[in-house]
Structure 1
Amino acid sequence: MESELNADVLPALVNEDTSLQRIALGIHGIPELKHDEKMNYLGEFRERIILRLTKRQVAEKLIYPEIKEALNHEKSSKMLINGTLSPQFTDKYIELAREMGKSYTMIHDPELTGETGLVVVSNEAVDIENIDVTSPNVI
């Protein structure tokens, strides 16, 4: 008798649970892994970043040679640029990406946090320990 009761109730609970899951997805959207981390790195996972410049570094007059090296990295796939930066600061990096045959994307997302101005990324994890450019050398 008890097993018959469980057999009748169980499918109803599973269906209700699925319905609740669908409602939650509709309200909140699909859950995203490491959302806060990604918003700090222009929408990318930290482990995919080859090199990063801050907004202040992108705004400097000359180009960091480390960006050219990062674009030449064997796993480099594209460059992402913070869309809040003025074209007068970003155009030099866009031109560099074009010259090197790499794609670039301007990221315009109001949820972006932090000071990231530009990242060179891979389509897979590269796990580079120090992604920040600290040298003042420019070309």
Structure 2
Amino acid sequence: MDDYIQQGIHGIREIKPDERRKFLGTLRERVVVVLTKQQVREPGTYKEIEDLMKKNKDATLFLNGTMDYNEMSDYIKIANKIGSKFIISTNKEANTDLGLVLAYDHAINKEDIYIKKQKEQIEVQKHENHFSQFFKKIF
């Protein structure tokens, strides 16, 4: 009875509210991939996101509603093209650096959910190319 009264006063008790605020309304254990706000703001889109959306069509794309619509629109177009669900999460009280979360409605417990920034990927590729060219010259 006490739980019922407390629920009436304070609202429905939420499991892991801080985690839900960080991951735009979902839990970490359900996440396929995330991008930071800064990554979403970069020109163009991440190919990895489109590929993962195609592979995980039953997953929902959560977008941070505190961002400008123009910054998210390319990802919304991809979701519409693929036929994926998307939600614009507009919790003004949540302070998160995430701009995009692709997640299921059940736990998948994927270990690595972060994508390196495009600039970092390009630098790694350049470094690998220089390294391989060095060895080609030697051998």
Q: Does TM, normalized by the shorter one, top 0.5?
A: yes
110-119 vs 42-51, which moves further: 110-119
The AA in structure 2 aligned to 1:91 is: S
TM-score normalized by structure 2?
0.79
2:109 to 118, 121, 127: 127
Question: Aligned pair 1:61/2:37, yes or no?
Answer: no
> Residue by residue, what CA displacement relative to the aligned partner does 1:73-113 show, whole Å, maximum 9, x if unpaired?
24642101000111111110000111111111111112322
> Which residue number corresponds to residue 117 of structure 1?
99
Contact (CA 8 Å) 1:53, 1:116: kept in 2 or not? Answer: yes
Query: How many correspondences in the alignment?
Result: 120
> Does the CA-based 8 Å contact 1:52-1:119 persist in structure 2?
yes
Q: Distance in 2 between matches of 1:120 and 1:108?
A: 16
2:72 aligned partner, one-letter code: T
Report if the CA contact (8 A) 2:59-2:104 is conserved.
yes
Q: Does 1:51 align with 2:36?
A: no
Equivalent residue letter for 1:130: D
SS in 1 for 2:20: helix
Q: Is the 8 A contact 2:61 2:103 kept in 1?
A: yes
> Does 2:9 align with 1:27?
yes
Q: TM-score, normalised by structure 1?
A: 0.79
The change in CA–CA distance for 1:32 and 1:21 in structure 2 (over 3 A counts) is same
Q: Point out the structure with max Rg over C-alpha.
A: 1
Q: Which moved more, 1:66-75 or 1:31-40?
A: 66-75
Tell me which stretches of 4 or more aligned residues in structure 1 moved more than 4 Å: none
Q: 2:40 and 2:74 mapped to 1: Cα distance?
A: 9
**Shift in Å, 1:21:** 2.9
In the alignment, the residues of structure 1 paired with residue 64 and residue 88 of structure 2 have an alpha-carbon distance, to the nearest angstrom, of 6
Aligned-residue CA RMSD in angstroms? 1.7
Q: Distance in 2 between matches of 1:34 and 1:114?
A: 15
98, 101, 106: which is aligned to 2:83?
101
